[in-house]
Structure 1
Amino acid sequence: MHRNSVCPRRPHPGCQLAGPGTPAGRPPHHTRIQGGSRRDSTEEFGCGQSGSNRHRNSGRCPASLTELISIGVAPCEFIFLDADKTGYVKYLELALQLSHPGTVIVADNIIRNGAVLDGCATEDYDHGARNYNAVAAAHPRLASIAPHVQFKEKIDGMTISRVK
């Protein structure tokens, strides 16, 4: 399933949708990662309550982002993309329409076990991830890094961009 998560601006920080971490002002024991779901963790921070500004969409990434743009969602603090890599450049342009200076955009799975760095890569996913990294690195509105992580024999990572 292709999915993306978006967290619009809140009156105070504290909503995190992806990965382990402690939102500002919350002690570490409030971040439930092991033994709990991402939904449990975000609801614990008040992001899942009715009337909150959190939007969490599952489905086709471009349709979800386009829908949020069309309904006029407020600028987002955090956008997490985990979808078809061949469309990541398009998703970035849509995500920028939901952004403001300071928004963090994370694109997951962009190292692809090192294939993105291999000039001989043949898979469309690898080319899509490579194109995304090139666009994010050169984009005038973004400051980006692409840290990698190693899991046993495999290498992967994410591109983390901050809107200027």
Structure 2
Amino acid sequence: MYESELTWRQVDEYLVETLVEEDETLIAARESGAETTMPQAEVAPNQGKLLALLAEMIGASRVLEFGTLAGYSTIWLARAVGANGRVVSFELEEQNAAAARANLERAAVSDRVEILVGSASESARRLIDAGTESFDFVFIDADKPSNPEYLRASIELTHPGSVLVIDNVVRNGAVIDPDSADDRVQGVRSVLADIASDSRLEATSLQTVGSKGWDGFTIIRRAR
């Protein structure tokens, strides 16, 4: 049995080396995550490519991202929407936004990305109130206690057929504990319950192991 975290990491390294083309700009963006308020919190390279593939599969031209950090996943998504596409990314901290801007410039995709600094909930509400054009793809990877609020905003900012991905939904297995004192776990449990009770949404969740440890993500399709 191959159960160690070391083996998980080695398998991820093999898969990335075999299937994921991570160029110098992506590597630089990933490594610059050490300069953010949440070091090493960015998605793994194979997860970044998964996000890009999902966006490309549905022909997404407009992407919304909750949580920019150093812009690693933002670059993947910006490349996925193409030169005529648009990515709007919410980031709480200016320190992180500054790192992301530098990385986006280096990756030559800054012209198609807008980083909105401040509360993601407030930024989302401003977009809703402004009647912003709907988004085709949403990636939610910010503070977990706010996941239910982010989901509600995302539904208002998308259209039937849009796809949403929520990251970090397993949390080393803690998600199964209904009495957890961790508000991040409760945020995940609440958003999963909201998804399950919303007839507009079709979804599944998958566990993952790899360089980011034991976690998982939820993929949602807005059916109507």
Same fold (TM over 0.5): yes
Q: CA distance change for structure 1 residues 42 and 104 in 2, over 3 Å: closer, same or farther?
A: closer
SS for the counterpart of 1:83 is coil
Stretches of structure 2 that go unaligned for 5 or more consecutive residues are 1-36, 39-46, 58-70, 93-118
* TM alignment of 1:38-49, pairs within 5 A: 38-45=73-80, 47=82
Q: Does 1:129 align with 2:188?
A: yes
Task: Identify, as 1 or 2, the structure richer in helix.
Answer: 2
Change (3 A) 1:157 1:42: closer
Match of 2:169 among 110, 122, 141: 110
Q: Displacement of 1:161 after TM fit?
A: 0.8
Q: Which runs of 5+ in 1 are unaligned?
A: 3-17, 25-35
Q: Could you tell me the percent identity over the aligned residues?
A: 29
Residue 57, structure 1, aligned to residue 116, structure 2: no
1:148 maps to which residue? 207
TM superposition shift of 1:64 = 2.2
Q: How many residues align?
A: 137
2:143 alignment partner in structure 1: 84
- Aligned twin of 1:11: none
In the alignment, residue 219 of structure 2 is paired with which amino acid?
Answer: I
- Give the Cα–Cα distance (whole angstroms) in 2 for the partners of residues 137 and 46 of structure 1: 29
Distance 1:43 1:127 in 2: 31
- How far is the alpha carbon of 1:42 from its aligned partner? 4.3
Change (3 A) 1:78 1:119: same
Greater Rg over alpha carbons, structure: 2
Aligned-residue offset at 1:158: 1.2
RMSD after superposition: 2.9
Q: CA, structure 1 residues 113+74, in 2 after alignment: closer, same or farther (shift >3 Å)?
A: same
Q: Distance in 1 between matches of 2:81 and 2:147?
A: 29
Q: Please tell me whether the aligned partners of residues 58 and 64 of structure 1 are also in contact (alpha carbons under 8 angstroms).
A: no
Distance 1:83 1:92 in 2: 11
TM-score, L = length of structure 2: 0.53
Distance 1:153 1:54 in 2: 25
Q: Residue 67 of structure 1 corresponds to which residue in structure 2?
A: 126
CA contact (8 A) 1:144 1:159 kept: yes
